[in-house]
Chains A and B, each alone.
Chain A
Amino acid sequence: MEREARERLRWKCRRGLLELDLVLQRYLERNPQDAELSELLDLADNDLWDIVSGRNERYDGRLSGIVARLRAS
């Protein structure tokens, strides 16, 4: 992944909720180039946190891979 795309992804991980900042920062440090992350980041903060924290299991099945990786990180 080129520098610019990596930087954009990094900034998209700056959120309104601290919980997401922390999880996403930790994930990015280990996986700075996961392009699948970007689509997930279009979700609203609270919706995303509900998915990452396991409160919500009803989400787009195409995202199951990245959701599982985020939950495990």
Chain B
Amino acid sequence: MSAALPVRRFDAIVVGAGGSGLRAALELARASLKVAVLSKVFPTRSHTVAAQGGIAAPLANSTEDNWHWHMYDTVKGSDYLGDQDAIEYMCRRANEVVVELEHMGMPFDRLENGKIYQRPFGGHTQGYGSAKMAMRACAAADRTGHAMLHTLYQQNVRANTQFFVEWMALDLIRDPQDGAVVGVTALEMETGEVHILQGKAVLFATGGAGRIFAASTNAFINTGDGLGIAARAGIPLQDMEFWQFHPTGVHGAGVLITEGVRGEGGYLLNKDGERFMERYAPNAKDLASRDVVSRAMTTEIKEGRGCGPEADHVLLKLDHLGPEVINLRLPGIREIAIKFANADPIREPIPVVPTVHYQMGGIPANYMGQVVVPEGASHEAIVPGFYAAGECSCVSVHGANRLGTNSLLDLLVFGKSSGEQMAKDIRAMPRPHRNLPKDAGELSRARLARLDGASAGERVAEVGADLRRVMQAHCGVFRFPDDLAKGVEKVKEIAARAQRSFIADKSKVFNTARVEALELDNLVETALATVVSADARLESRGAQARADFPERDDRDWLKHTLWYKEDNRLAYKPVHLKPLTVEAFEPKVRTY
């Protein structure tokens, strides 16, 4: 064995510097704990920056509203797979975390009377699903995520949080005695050295893994690092079959074309020039709900009526609206189409495909952020020292489908509650850190040694591209039994190829090829979890839509999936149907 890895000790370690990581770190730093935050990129370049819509909170500044209505909407939106205790908790703390953010200096849009301006958003209603919309979304123009990230970052700098920027977490370190998490290994890009960061509490706030799909709105950094690390350490991943898609992302790029284009009169065409939505939704046509439009597009492509040399997309036509409407009412769309589709929509249609943008599943955690796994008779035994929050976690407040603006709320509420719980747990521990296990860091060291020692093998970019293509074709927005079964086999083959990944550049200092090879390992774990879980769930619920099982099946499938890396094993656990203080919302048919 070579020399021991350098060790740095902290009270708390936070992996990821997006909304939830920064909110948790702030709670910890304000409690005078020694906090390290690791991030692959500069914190304000985290993907939270892309969130535009707003933060849901029933402040009732413009319309009557309350947390119980918000809770109802969230439970219904989740297609009843959300845990009702966690959903009650989130909705009851929403006003508090938004007002706190306001007091930190977040530049919310305001009403004339100075209160936070709130706007309506899909799925958020008054009076338990009445036709009246709730005005619940608090926004800072179309830059809510950006403003939130900058506000939280500045507060952390003030609170003396220690940032490790351009550090990539590699693997968990667990105490073999009781499975407790006692630290992480991480690669410092600047030097290429691997370090051990030892802590009494470790939070994963690493975001989603939307880059497993060819069509994705996610930034390149969203490679599911926390999910891959957890899976390699024996932690199961929950409900990974549930991914939210948007119908119109630019083919080959992923950048979204807003629903507003269809609202203004744009419509979809197949290769025969047919306006196919007339067949699937004779009344609403191209303005049918997102899932209906996405399924119709997939069916057209699957039945051979897709466009282009690969017959793998459909067309969004808007030239008939005329340049005035396109330029005035749809600002930015023309630039996006020209830049990313090489098509000027004033003259020609835009190639589009259903595009993934949010991961509902993740590392199983409760509403205090504690990671929970089946052990003995318990479905949810706490893993000591390990916490998860934000898109990488599955609490589960979004269940099978997330409502818009609930994601930023999730980051704030569970970032804060994780930080609170970590501070409490750290205070209850003896002062010295536990001893590190003898083999601490060996897994990471072995992974890097293999990569550095390989003189030939699979190219990282090619394996990654194949993975994304297979996931898109076999496990997309509308799922067919043969595709899923074949998809499982194909992703397993890709996983085997990823184990033989090879990089030509072996330099230590700032080697981005090495980082991308390590990211590929995490993408592969996430993709396997997704396709295996989707293949096994024999129903349609929320974001999981199967052609062979078109209905929701509460008798057999009102339960959470748990996928384990070891042997691709699956287990299931009950949904928490009992809220904290109020009566349960019983599953009903979900109609809007």
A residues contacting B by CB (< 8 A) are 3-4, 7-8, 10-11, 14-19, 21-23, 25, 44-46, 53-55
CB distance from A24 to the nearest CB of B (A): 10
Task: Mark each residue of chain B from 495 to 525: 1 if its CB lies under 8 Å from any CB of chain A, else 0.
Answer: 0000000000001011110010000000000
Q: Which chain A residues lie closer than 8 Å to B216 at the CB level?
A: 18
Closest to B253 in A: A22
Among B45-53, B178-186, B387-395, B421-429, the one that faces the other chain is B45-53
* In the complex with contacts A3-B507, A22-B253, A53-B332, A16-B45 CB distance below 8 A: yes
Q: Which chain A residues lie closer than 8 Å to B510 at the CB level?
A: 4, 7-8, 11
Task: Mark each residue of chain B from 49 to 73: 1 if its CB lies under 8 Å from any CB of chain A, else 0.
Answer: 1100000000000000000000000
The answer to whether A45 and B332 have CB atoms under 8 Å apart is: no
Tally the A-B contacts, defined by beta carbons under 8 Å.
Answer: 77
The answer to whether A17 and B511 have CB atoms under 8 Å apart is: no
CB distance from A14 to the nearest CB of B (A): 5
Counting CB contacts under 8 A, is B40 at the interface? yes
Q: Which chain B residues lie closer than 8 Å to A8 at the CB level?
A: 510
CB distance from B356 to the nearest CB of A (A): 12
Tally of contact residues, B, Cβ under 8 A = 35
The answer to whether B189 and A18 have CB atoms under 8 Å apart is: no
Q: Which 10 A-B pairs have the closest CB atoms?
A: A16-B49, A7-B510, A16-B45, A21-B220, A46-B146, A45-B49, A18-B219, A16-B47, A53-B335, A7-B512
* In the complex with contacts A22-B253, A44-B44, A45-B146, A16-B50 CB distance below 8 A: yes
Q: Which chain B residues lie closer than 8 Å to A53 at the CB level?
A: 332, 335-336, 339
Closest to B147 in A: A46
Task: Other than A14-B41, A14-B45, A16-B45, give 17 A-B pairs with Cβ distance below 8 A.
Answer: A4-B510, A8-B510, A11-B510, A15-B45, A16-B46, A17-B219, A18-B219, A18-B220, A18-B254, A18-B255, A22-B253, A23-B339, A44-B44, A44-B49, A45-B49, A46-B146, A53-B332
The answer to whether B509 and A4 have CB atoms under 8 Å apart is: yes
Q: CA A14 – CA B257 in complex, angstroms? A: 22
CB distance from B54 to the nearest CB of A (A): 15
